Structure 1
């Protein structure tokens, strides 16, 4: 596994530009995997990394690297500004209905969709973390059982 020590600056600049939000695919076409830092400056901090760079143990390269917390904050900021733009578009629209009630109804629908999207993305990261922790627990239990088993033979 790679040992990323990186500064807390987070967002990487790749050949394709700055990664905004949760990265899905690296510029090289490889999928993005979630990892946990083992460095002293960022112990146990979760990050996204290009699977190719992880498998080849590359460091200080152009492949995607982004801290999970910063990626999620980018997503929330992006969706919040999108909601504000949509709210502004609704306010400026030429649709003539019962003004305030119609705008409130449309804004509430847009806000609900944005909140659902944020919730869905956060849930996916949380479920990935839970799966990873379950795997770690199973490995820990197996190691403990082996140690206890070897202790009985000694």
Structure 2
């Protein structure tokens, strides 16, 4: 397209819809071509254009036209928005993970304390039985020593 004189804001809005980012296909289904402007107002400026419109030398039509620099800015803006959303999701996941780890550690701590308390109770019970047996044996020995002595 040799006489591109469309201003940049008009090029982003077409009757068939706004093209965001780098266009892949025109609304008509035709592929997109990357060309260089030869106009006086935009010399050597790169742009994307519908292959059908280029082949038929259509001008001021509704087929896709977009400046390359604008397409790249749209792509960067889209990636920035996706990055912000992914960072938010990552923050949410980290928060959920922290809460889950906290719950797991608290549950593990409770289970460990219960097991330690059970082991201590069992040891105390075992010690009491052992002490009773020792006291009983001591009494038997004292009784036997008085009988024999």
Shared fold (TM-score greater than 0.5)? yes
Q: Is the 8 A contact 1:5 1:37 kept in 2?
A: no
| Corresponding residue for residue 72 of structure 2 | 72
1:90: how far off? Answer: 1.5
* Number of residue equivalences: 98
State the alpha-carbon separation in 1 of the partners of residues 91 and 39 from structure 2. Answer: 49
State the alpha-carbon separation in 2 of the partners of residues 20 and 12 from structure 1. Answer: 10
| Corresponding residue for residue 45 of structure 1 | 45
1:8: how far off? Answer: 2.5
Q: Is the 8 A contact 2:21 2:72 kept in 1?
A: yes
| Corresponding residue for residue 33 of structure 2 | 33
1:22: how far off? Answer: 0.2
State the alpha-carbon separation in 1 of the partners of residues 15 and 45 from structure 2. Answer: 21
| Corresponding residue for residue 20 of structure 1 | 20
Q: Tell me the alpha carbon deviations over residues 65-101 of structure 1, each in whole angstroms, 9 at most, x when there is no partner.
A: 0000000010001001100011111212364159xxx
Q: Secondary structure at the match of 1:13?
A: coil
TM-score normalised by length of structure 1? 0.58
| Corresponding residue for residue 96 of structure 1 | 97
- Structure with bigger helix share is 2
| Corresponding residue for residue 124 of structure 2 | none
- Aligned-residue CA RMSD (Å): 2.0
Q: Tell me the alpha carbon deviations over residues 38-82 of structure 1, each in whole angstroms, 9 at most, x when there is no partner.
A: 111101100000000000111111100000000001000100110
Structure 1 runs not aligned, ≥5 long:
99-154
State the alpha-carbon separation in 2 of the partners of residues 36 and 12 from structure 1. Answer: 20
- 1:1-154 alignment runs, 5 A limit: 1-9=1-9, 10-15=11-16, 17-93=17-93, 95-97=96-98
